[in-house]
Amino acid sequence: MTRHTQRRRIVVATVVSGALLLVGPAAYGVATAADKIDNPAASSSQNPGDDQDQDGSGDGSDGQSGNSGDGSESTKDQQGQGDQNQDGQNGGDQKQDGQGQNGSGQDGKDEKNDDPNGLGVLATDCSGSTLQPHDGFQNGNRCVSTAFGEVGTQDKNPSLLITSAPTQVSPGQGFQLTVSTRNLIRDRFLAAAKGGYYKESSLLNGQGLQRGHFHTACRVLPNADEAPDAAPKPEFFLATEDGSGSATPDKVTIDVPGVQQAGDLQCSSWAGDGSHRIPMMQRADQTPAFDSVRVKVG
């Protein structure tokens, strides 16, 4: 082989090697992209800031809830609530047992609604209401922002009983009711006509007894077999604020004028705080301070 032929082969080899060096990286890049298209898992991000952890559990901390750890993609929820989670370990998800509804952590606490026990509280004030504020007058379709106020202990919660009433009277005949109250200091009455309705929080006196008054009203029942319409005004209404009342039961006589309409007359008495709400009780199973009787007219 001549020296000229050897030189030509060296030149050809050099050219081929150079071409491989240029083409090689591009070809590798095409193969890598194709591999990601065929294998989507190869393109999923595992950076620490991603919404989904490597095990697919997710923490819901940025408003995007993870799944229950099955490795599938996380479900986005702009309010951070996410989908139901069988094991309840997703911070922003709702547990199937209802303990973590609208929760912001594993204990199901809802900081927005001040709902640490996961009861699903809808509101604790009027900040989210679309109704106009209540102004102390007797208007409906309003939102009352007045705080409930003070509630006494169970042994000092007020009670009330109608102890005497006729069973039947003639149309137009007046009669008397006897009302007994306990633990109700009848010294507080904000006039509703002047803007005192639902305006003041509940207050106790120095002995922990409810301050307020009691109401008495009588109405004719159109039908004794169904709940009546609440809108019509009663035939008789009276608020009793006489400055009396104590922990010892006492009695007050209420004079009811005659009612002309024949039928079943329902007469009721109920305690009110200074702003006309039935006083609160320490426990949910206590009977509030109210009572009713039926008087036949006719």
pLDDT tens for each residue of the chain, 298 residues long? 544 444 444 444 444 344 433 334 433 333 333 333 333 333 333 333 333 333 333 333 333 333 333 333 333 333 333 333 333 333 333 333 333 333 333 343 444 557 889 999 999 999 999 999 999 999 999 999 999 999 999 999 999 999 999 999 999 999 999 999 999 999 999 999 999 999 999 999 999 999 999 999 999 999 999 999 999 999 999 999 999 999 999 999 999 999 999 999 999 999 999 999 999 999 999 999 999 999 999 9
For residue 230, what are the contacts with CB-CB under 8 A and spacing of at least 6?
A: none
CB of 274 within 8 A of CB of 200? yes
Q: Can you tell me the distance from the alpha carbon of 240 to that of 162, in angstroms, rounded to the nearest whole number?
A: 14
User: Which residues are CB-neighbours of 208 under 8 A, at least 6 positions away?
Assistant: 152, 153, 156
* Residue 77, Cβ density class (10 Å: 0-12 exposed, 13-18 middle, ≥19 buried): middle
**C-alpha span between 38 and 94 (Å, rounded):** 35
Residue 113's pLDDT is 52
pLDDT of the residue at 31: 35
Specify the pTM.
Answer: 0.63
For the beta carbon of residue 222, count every other beta carbon within 10 angstroms: 11
